[in-house]
Amino acid sequence: MSSFIIRRLIYMVPTILVLSIVVFVIIQLPPGDWLTSYVAGMRAAGDEVSPERIDILRERYGFDQPMHVKYFKWITGIFRGDFGFSFSWNKPVGELIWSRMGLTLLVSISTLIFTWIVSFAIGLYSATHQYSIGDYLATFIGFIGLATPNFMLALILMYLSFEFFGYSISGLFSYEYANAPWSIAKLIDLLKHLWIPIIVSGTAGTAGLIRILRANLLDELGKPYVVTAKTKGVSNLKILFKYPVRIALIPFISTVGWTFASLISGSVITAIVLNLPTAGPMLLQALKTQDMYLAGSFIFFLSILTVIGTLVSDILLAIVDPRIRYK
């Protein structure tokens, strides 16, 4: 196991380097750049920008340099902790990323915990009580959850809340606490708003994992080793958690690879609908305005998290499933 982890860590270095190149090239592929979008916006507002000023801005922000020069400056800056400068926000990229990271992680990790706990409990009950009323109810709710987009559920909850209670559930803070310094009152206000994005963002994932856990667990419970254990008098609870549950948990663990990245990006459309101050809307805005350093840093960060998540997932799979062996 230790040699496997060491090899994977060594492989991660060239993988991340190649990912940085791919990310930067993809960001550069669309025609034009941030300056092109900026000039187009100025002209649409009726402000004419002279070619001389465009040339000055292009030279000032380095848009006239070759791609490989811009990439080298960007990647070497990242090693020093400098992620570049955001043109649209007129701030350092690192400052922008970390300003959204705390609330993003809070919402995403809370959603992940909610999804895993609820789906594990319902999936376990549904599999061990096959064709019962509870099983049919869980199946029905699961299909509804899979069929309803998260942003649609957000719109429905927002409408019902405002129509019947006169209360807006958008955002993570009330108006009076949005820009206020942190305090006990602001923390309580945050907790009052937090349950809405958790339920909205976690519904589809919970429904999907319930169906997967139920199917895998039913498949394991019907295998000969389970039947043999029962005939030898082993208790149902001990049989259930000895092997079947461990094998059925593989889908939960195998999703860690992309889950780490989703902790940061989140559900962008849902975050926009609920007006959440998380990283997803900022990434979307950076892509729309071709803010290459901000968008590139976000995507590169998500790529690194995916690589790390894949490593963690493989290690956990080797621990949970005794049939997996690494040499």
Is the model's pLDDT at 326 over the cut of 60?
no
User: Rounded to whole angstroms, what are the CA distances from 87 to 84, 93, 158?
Assistant: 10, 9, 34
Is the model's pLDDT at 265 over the cut of 80?
no
Which pLDDT does position 242 carry in this prediction?
Answer: 76
Is the model's pLDDT at 201 over the cut of 70?
yes
Which pLDDT does position 135 carry in this prediction?
Answer: 87
The answer to whether residues 210 and 197 touch, using CB atoms and an 8 Å cutoff, is no
Answer with the residue of higher pLDDT: 295 or 258. Answer: 295
Q: Which of 32-41, 278-287, 291-300 has the lowest mean pLDDT?
A: 32-41
Mean pLDDT value across residues 226-235: 81
User: Rounded to whole angstroms, what are the CA distances from 181 to 69, 203, 281, 326?
Assistant: 42, 32, 23, 50
Exposed/middle/buried for 182, CB within 10 Å: 0-12, 13-18, 19+?
Answer: exposed
- Give the DSSP letter of residue 181: P
Is the model's pLDDT at 105 over the cut of 60?
yes
Q: How many Å apart are CA 110 and CA 107, to the nearest integer?
A: 5
Q: Which of 141-145, 219-223, 248-252 has the lowest mean pLDDT?
A: 248-252
Best CA proximity match to 276, nearest among 204, 190, 170: 170
- Please name the residue that has the structure tokens 């062996």: 325
Domain spans in the chain, listed from the N-terminal domain onward = 102-320
Mean pLDDT value across residues 110-133: 86
Is the model's pLDDT at 210 over the cut of 70?
yes
Which pLDDT does position 209 carry in this prediction?
Answer: 82
Answer with the residue of higher pLDDT: 327 or 5. Answer: 5
Pick the CATH number of 102-320 from 3.30.70.20, 3.40.1400.10, 1.10.357.20, 1.10.3720.10: 1.10.3720.10
Which pLDDT does position 257 carry in this prediction?
Answer: 66
Q: How many Å apart are CA 236 and CA 30, to the nearest integer?
A: 59
Is the model's pLDDT at 221 over the cut of 70?
yes
pTM, two decimal places: 0.76
Choose from 74-83, 172-181, 310-319 the range with maximum mean pLDDT. 74-83
Backbone angles phi, psi at 156, to 5 degrees: -65, -45
Exposed/middle/buried for 179, CB within 10 Å: 0-12, 13-18, 19+?
Answer: exposed
145 contacts: CB under 8 Å, gap ≥ 6 = 203, 204, 206, 207, 208
Q: What share of the chain is helix, strand, coil (3-state, %, to 5)?
A: 75, 0, 25
Confidence of residue 322 (pLDDT cuts 50, 70, 90): low
Element (H, E) at 85: strand 85-86
- Please name the residue that has the structure tokens 């609908």: 273
Mean pLDDT value across residues 141-166: 81
Mean pLDDT of the chain: 80
The answer to whether residues 1 and 256 touch, using CB atoms and an 8 Å cutoff, is no
